[in-house]
Structure 1
Amino acid sequence: MVELYDRKKPANWPELIGRCVVSLILVFLIQCSQFLVPHFFSDLSFFIQLLLSALMLLAVASAAGWCRRLLRVRSSAPALVFFSVLFVWLVYIAVVRQDASLLMNLLFNGQIILLIFGLCRMLSSDPGLVSYSTSPSDATSQSLVLEMDTHHLIEDIGLDDRLRRCPICKTYVKGFDHHCPAFGNCIGHKNYVLFMVLLFGFIWTESTYIVCLSQYSAESELLDGDGTRLEINFSKKVARSTMLFSILQLVWQVLFFLWHIYCICFNIRTDEWIHWKRYPEFQIVVQSEQGLRSNEMKFRNPYDKGVVQNVKEFIMASKQ
């Protein structure tokens, strides 16, 4: 039997723990950098603070990447996401929860629990890995099969022509969209709906947290004149820093979510859009003007059957 994908190797626990520790340090550095903005620039407008927060985030990410390459250590993107969610949850419990309503408390804590469950589910989900069994008389070795061009491979095994090979996992995935480092898995035919639900869950949770922070800021303004001014100011700075971070996250997540809604409506995958020159079915050759010998190659989408039909096919595919 020859399989078109390699099963995941058993976890190397010392290496995995090391990556998680590096990710935890990165989360701490990111949140500390965000805290510096309201601490030193509290007199500036919120919009300016948001721009400074974005610059600090880019600076820390660039410096952290350089240090990791220098020290030859690796981090875990799923662990980075998990620790970021956990940090926001701890800030909420320690600082924000006291001024939030009972309904918002129940809503936000429930969202965080569902979000963590969704992350674990996505990490272990099957994106649509494809296996192919050859007859005993087939002389093609496994290594040769893995090196075959995807287009020829599709013709040989009789699957639809949306079988793609993930360049990260080196696996073949039906309906491959992209490899998501944040979720630690490929996004494909079987877990695309889960991916969209989880992405919407992040947007919903970030929005709820921002609303809770707004309530906290409004309530804490009334306490600035009492004897706990120093403690309140520190708490407000922590809350403001997480609000800046959450808004930046929310903007990115909304844009990413809208992009995938667009892809669903026009029945196209992220990998196909970016690397369409790899796949002949997305290419159309347009002859150049008279007198020129070269031809121009343009993108076309053979799967676009209209928004309504594309959405129907997406829903039906998710039920299979």
Structure 2
Amino acid sequence: MNHQFKKMKMVAEKLITIESTVSSVSVLFIHSALFLVAHFLPSFPLLTLLSISAGVMLLVVGLGRACKKLLGVRGSAPAFVVINILYVWIVYLIVIRPGVSYKLDIVFNSELVILLLGLCRILSSDPGYVAYGYSNPEKLVADPLLDVETPLQESELASCETYKGCASNEESTLLQRIRFCRMCKVYVKGFDHHCPAFGNCIGQKNRVLFITLLVGFILSEASYIACLSQFAKSYTADKDVEKPSYSSTLAGSTMLFSLLQVLWQIVFLMWHLYCVCFNITTDEWINWKRYPEFQLVVQLQLASRTVFTNPYNHGILQNLKHFLKAKE
């Protein structure tokens, strides 16, 4: 609980310090660049515009990182996410909303409110913190190695042999899935990855919330694109202008941003759903050679070879049940 309180305090401070100002400037530059793309290339095909927009965003992000490194300042990734949401919301309220139906307006605004509440929840959520590998203190016998102040190595955590008194497969499994987050300097049960955008580790206790938030982002962005579609129809019906106005250009730039976000988030969501279905984490998939339980030695005629194996895969249905119950 003490660690959670410190985490919440640190996140709150980051959102109101100079880091949030740096993130605000980054958001402004990215959306300004997309506005220029939409303004000067309005007649280009959508796929071409998306490709150009992606390249422009990468260029702006790269230049931004170089400038921040040169000036010795840092931005806050969670603040960057929140400010982007607020920027799109402001554009919607000022420009898009008059051309949107009442029902769609309620849906979109409700989604954004829920999304912001979910972000606040995951920023301070407990991903499954444990103290030096203790996933179940009542079952494990204390080990002298745990008394040292230096954190244990991941290879030690990955093997049940590190701990005395580990007598069953169940206890061994509990220990094996405790990983060390190098960003937060803590041990996390079921560690998947450290998410800079959410400013927190993703582990056993908040992985369901993480995937739910991914779905929420995709749904809210899809709703915004639907709002833009209605706005475009009403705008072309009411306006008869040869050149796009500021409002239509602003709507077009946020549409490019939303489409790019949806595309990569869908791929990201599909990856995490794949991991859930086969009961494996991102960290375990990438670093399986560091964890003994994922290594299977195959004997060949003249030599042996180590191949990947997943001891936690018990079929998609069982894996889904394990995922949904893993918050406890």
**Structure 1 residues 137 and 179: CA distance shift in structure 2, 3 A:** closer
The amino acid of 1:97's aligned partner reads R
**Structure 1 residues 16 and 170: CA distance shift in structure 2, 3 A:** farther
Instruction: Pick from 184, 190, 210 the counterpart of residue 195 of structure 1.
Output: 210
Quote the offset at 1:93 in angstroms.
Answer: 0.2
Quote the offset at 1:150 in angstroms.
Answer: 1.8
Match of 2:41 in 1: 41
Quote the offset at 1:266 in angstroms.
Answer: 0.4
Instruction: Pick from 233, 238, 260 the counterpart of residue 223 of structure 1.
Output: 238
**Structure 1 residues 5 and 300: CA distance shift in structure 2, 3 A:** farther
**Structure 1 residues 76 and 138: CA distance shift in structure 2, 3 A:** same
Match of 1:156 in 2: 163
1:262 and 2:274 equivalent? yes
Q: Distance in 1 between matches of 2:3 and 2:150?
A: 10
Quote the offset at 1:308 in angstroms.
Answer: 1.1
**Structure 2 segments unaligned to the other structure (5+ residues):** none
Instruction: Pick from 307, 314, 320 the counterpart of residue 323 of structure 2.
Output: 314
Quote the offset at 1:45 in angstroms.
Answer: 1.4
Q: Distance in 1 between matches of 2:5 and 2:88?
A: 36
**Structure 1 segments unaligned to the other structure (5+ residues):** none
Quote the offset at 1:225 in angstroms.
Answer: 2.0
- The count of aligned residue pairs is 311
SS at match of 1:44: coil
> Do 1:5 and 1:172's aligned partners in 2 also have CA atoms closer than 8 Å?
no
> Do 1:4 and 1:172's aligned partners in 2 also have CA atoms closer than 8 Å?
no
Give TM-score scaled by structure 2 length.
0.87
**Structure 1 residues 166 and 110: CA distance shift in structure 2, 3 A:** same
The amino acid of 2:319's aligned partner reads N
> Do 2:275 and 2:281's aligned partners in 1 also have CA atoms closer than 8 Å?
yes
Tell me the percent identity.
43
1:300 and 2:309 equivalent? yes
**Structure 1 residues 152 and 91: CA distance shift in structure 2, 3 A:** same
Q: Distance in 2 between matches of 1:176 and 1:137?
A: 22
1:19 and 2:19 equivalent? yes
> Do 1:20 and 1:79's aligned partners in 2 also have CA atoms closer than 8 Å?
yes
1:240 and 2:247 equivalent? no
**Structure 1 residues 240 and 143: CA distance shift in structure 2, 3 A:** same
1:144 and 2:144 equivalent? no
Match of 1:63 in 2: 63
Q: Distance in 2 between matches of 1:169 and 1:144?
A: 15
SS at match of 1:144: coil
1:182 and 2:185 equivalent? no
The amino acid of 2:325's aligned partner reads M
Out of 157-166 and 91-100, give the one that drifted further.
157-166
Q: Distance in 2 between matches of 1:198 and 1:283?
A: 33
Q: Once superposed, what is the RMSD of the aligned Cα atoms?
A: 2.8
